[in-house]
Amino acid sequence: MRKYLVRRLLNMLPTLILVSLGVFALVRWLPSDPARLLAGVDDSGAIDPALYARITKELGLDQPIVVQYAYWLGGVVRGNWGKSYLSGMEVLPQIVHRLQFTVQLAIAAWLFGLLLGIPLGTISAVRRNSPLDIAVTAFAISGVAIPHFWLGMMLIVLFAVWLGWLPYGGFDANLFVTPGLWIKQMLLPTFVLGTGLAAILMRQTRAALLEVFREPYILTARSKGLQESRVIWTHAMKNSLLPVVTIASLQFGTLVGGTVVTETVFTLPGLGKFVVDAVLRRDYLVVQMGLLVLTMAVMFSNFIADVVYTYLDPRIRYD
């Protein structure tokens, strides 16, 4: 097992290098360049060519692309992630600051999705074709279909503007210092981000349980006269959880990388929004590092999914 984990971790390295190459190339394929943005269009709508040339040189953008890549990758390895072209601030602390928030939001939404999706999926499977099942299925379809943007906006208008119960957005709380404020500020974004996951997990749980319910050993358990709750929780659930856990783990990576809309609507200091803003500003270093970190988050969540999968299903062996 340990050998497998080490090998799996080492396998991530070439993937990361490939991703870094891809990200670097993609960012440079974007039209325009940061020197133009930094030089700034003046009130007449023009750019000073001398200033533009100077900034290009200062940013090293006049160097061959291979040199730029090597310089950047060398810096990343040494822990020197460079400075934002536009603000002049160090990239590393900015990404760490935003990643902290995004991870908090992703964990909260993930837990929300698990706590809502799995029980609802179970109820739906147990009460198959009942009005409750129809209601839960309708929720699941809505959860997948409703855009986060629209849902977030509606919730802001309802809970912040009309009812005044919750803040419109923003985040400056600390879970351990100001837990009440943390909950208030996280509630709506968590709901918006977690609803989609809950819907996916609900449908997956329902399908998996229904499949397991058809297995002979469930029939045996029932014919032994076991209580229905024991049949479900002890016998059916454990086997039906395998695909659910896999999807839930993979979804965590998606959540970390997919918070941008929620962060924008609720004005949250997350990494997704930070990277998107940087793309619009052509802030190359921030985009490159942000995407690399997000990729690592997805890879890491996949890795955790593999580990959990191995733990849950002892039949799986990785030699």
Q: Which residues bind another protein (CB under 8 A)?
A: 30-32, 36-48, 50-51, 54, 84, 86-89, 94, 97, 153, 156-157, 160-161, 164, 167-170, 264-267, 269, 273-274, 277, 280-281
Q: Of 125 and 151, which CB lies nearer to another protein in the complex structure?
A: 151
Q: Which of these, 298, 316, 294, lies nearest to 307 by C-alpha position?
A: 316
The nearest distance, CB 90 to another protein, in angstroms, is 10
Place of tokens 């709508």: 45
Q: Which residues contact 194 (CB under 8 A, 6 or more apart)?
A: 108, 109, 110, 111, 112, 113, 116
How far is CA 21 from each of CA 32, 73, 114, rounded to the nearest angstrom? 20, 9, 35
Q: Of 58 and 228, which CB lies nearer to another protein in the complex structure?
A: 58
Q: Of 29 and 225, which CB lies nearer to another protein in the complex structure?
A: 29
Asked if 17 contacts 312 with a C-beta cutoff of 8 angstroms, the reply is no
Distance CA 70, CA 39 (A): 26
The nearest distance, CB 47 to another protein, in angstroms, is 6
The nearest distance, CB 75 to another protein, in angstroms, is 17
The nearest distance, CB 249 to another protein, in angstroms, is 30
The nearest distance, CB 282 to another protein, in angstroms, is 8
Distance CA 26, CA 32 (A): 13
The nearest distance, CB 36 to another protein, in angstroms, is 4
Strands (E), the chain: none
If DSSP codes are grouped into helix, strand and coil, which group holds residue 83? strand
* CB < 8 Å & 24+ apart, contacts of 165-169: 168/266, 168/267, 169/265, 169/266, 169/267, 169/268
Q: Of 153 and 183, which CB lies nearer to another protein in the complex structure?
A: 153
Q: Of 49 and 225, which CB lies nearer to another protein in the complex structure?
A: 49
Distance CA 55, CA 97 (A): 28
Q: Of 95 and 221, which CB lies nearer to another protein in the complex structure?
A: 95
